[in-house]
């Protein structure tokens, strides 16, 4: 694992905006798990396909706890590839079944498949952003309202053109 680049901070606002680059898929997944409990209302995900980490018991428990904290909490996922969800992510499918009011998964149309940089947004000021789904160069932004707004706008555009995904029952836990 390479050393993460130093955190850069921007003065003038409290708390300080932080931006840090890193190059580890393991660190990306770990940071995602660390951010879920700190999220107050909405987690927005865009990716080519969800990793198998979305089927880990620890991730499922974090998402469940997040959704149980407030009935208004939401998980919004937009994906290019969805055919692996029922086969490889039964814990996520089970969560969708229990929290259908709060978890929405959509599939992007082929016209959007040229978008290649996955990201996860936590509320409206924190994010993880991979620069390409085939490579593990990524960045973490904290208290970065401006950077997060750009990703929020992109997620909203993808969400608008994407189709809802209907998932069946989970099996094989």
16-65 confidence digits (pLDDT tens): 888 898 888 899 999 999 999 999 999 999 999 999 999 999 999 999 99
Domain boundaries, the chain: 26-164
- Percentages helix, strand, coil for the chain (3-state, rounded to 5) are 35, 25, 40
Q: Lowest-confidence range among 97-106, 108-117, 155-164? A: 108-117
| Class of the CATH domain delimited by 26-164 | alpha beta
Q: Can you give the pTM of this predicted structure?
A: 0.86
Residue with tokens 């407030």: 70
132-151 confidence digits (pLDDT tens): 777 778 999 999 999 999 99
As a dihedral over the C-alpha atoms of residue 27, residue 56, residue 90, residue 126, rounded to 10 degrees, the angle is -40
């Amino acid at each position: 694992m390479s050393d993460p680049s130093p955190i850069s901070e921007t003065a003038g606002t409290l708390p300080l905006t932080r931006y840090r680059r890193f190059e580890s898929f393991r660190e990306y997944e770990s940071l995602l798990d660390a951010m879920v409990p700190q999220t107050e209302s909405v987690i927005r995900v865009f990716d080519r396909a969800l990793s198998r980490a979305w089927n880990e018991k620890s991730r499922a428990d974090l998402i469940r706890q997040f959704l149980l904290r407030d009935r208004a909490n939401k998980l919004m996922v937009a994906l290019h590839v969805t055919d692996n969800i029922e086969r490889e992510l039964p814990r996520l499918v089970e969560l969708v079944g229990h929290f259908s009011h709060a978890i929405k998964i959509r599939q992007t149309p082929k016209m959007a498949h040229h978008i290649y940089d996955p990201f996860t947004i936590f509320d409206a000021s924190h994010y993880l952003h991979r620069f390409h789904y085939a490579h593990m160069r990524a960045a973490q932004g904290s208290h970065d309202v401006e950077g997060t707004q750009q990703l929020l706008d992109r997620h909203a555009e993808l969400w608008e053109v994407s189709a809802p995904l209907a998932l069946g029952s989970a099996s094989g836990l």
